[in-house]
Amino acid sequence: MKALITGASSGIGRDIAIELSKRKYELIIVARDAKKLEEVKQELNTNVKIICMDLSNIDNCKKLYEENKDIDILINNAGFGDCGDFSKTSLEKEILMINTNIMAYHILTKLYLQKMKNENKGRILNVASIAGFMPGPLMATYYSTKSYIVRLSEAIREELKKDKSKVQISILCPGPVNTNFNKVADVQFAIKGQSSEFVARYAVNKFLKGKFYIVPGLKIKLAKIGAKIAPSNFVAKISYRMQKRKIQ
């Protein structure tokens, strides 16, 4: 069995790689930082292929698929965020974010899903966020990218059901996690973050059991329910206050 993991050089991606390696999966780990990928490889006990690649480049996404079609599991995890008033944040950074958080997921999900459906087997895990269920003032672009992943995955799940396909798709929706994301996004969370090791272990266990919504932790499960039943303008106000406290 073989799994391909994007954004595997640190955080959740790295720890998912470790968890799958414990379960004897061969791995293809993808990220931009070759040195960090080599460090991850040293922690793994199964065959590992390293691919140093920037997935904000659309052609790279297509190349990744063409050169690595033979996999059983796809883990879309690469991504980053930013924090600040939408009128003041960097457009260039946001375009890179959209390309990484949406376009790379969309392309890889589509290409691998087509192959998996033809073979009637395979699993896809899209790493989203609890942010995907609510508006995110002061992190507008990031929240929007995660909402896209949630809705895309939900739609694909229904199509697979109607086709009676054996292909599985799932979404991982954690809350704050102690990873390099916080540094890149320039935020500090008011809620204590979970460890990426815990999130990855929880995610892999639930994913391999076929669960669709994978939401680690009781507080985050409650936040998902609250975001679903509360008016969006109320959720936006609460979210704004939370984001405001994050800005350094």
The active-site residue out of 25, 112, 146, 148 is 146
Neighbours of 113 (CB within 10 A): 19
Catalytic residue check, 22: no
The active-site residue out of 25, 142, 143, 148 is 142
Neighbours of 24 (CB within 10 A): 10
CA 149 – CA 85 distance, rounded (Å): 23
Q: Name residue 148's amino acid.
A: Y
Catalytic residue check, 121: no
Measured over all CA atoms, what is the biggest interatomic distance in the chain, rounded to whole angstroms?
Answer: 49
Cα–Cα distance list, 161 to 7, 44, 145, 158, 166 (Å): 29, 35, 25, 5, 9
Q: For the purposes of burial, counting CB atoms within 10 Å of the CB of 158, is it exposed (0-12), middle (13-18) or buried (19 or more)?
A: exposed
Counting DSSP H helices and E strands in the chain, the numbers are 10, 9
What b/e string do you get for 177-215 counting C-beta neighbours within 10 Å, with b at 16 or more? bbbebbeebebebeeebbebbebbbbbbebbbeeeebbb
Active site residues: 142, 146
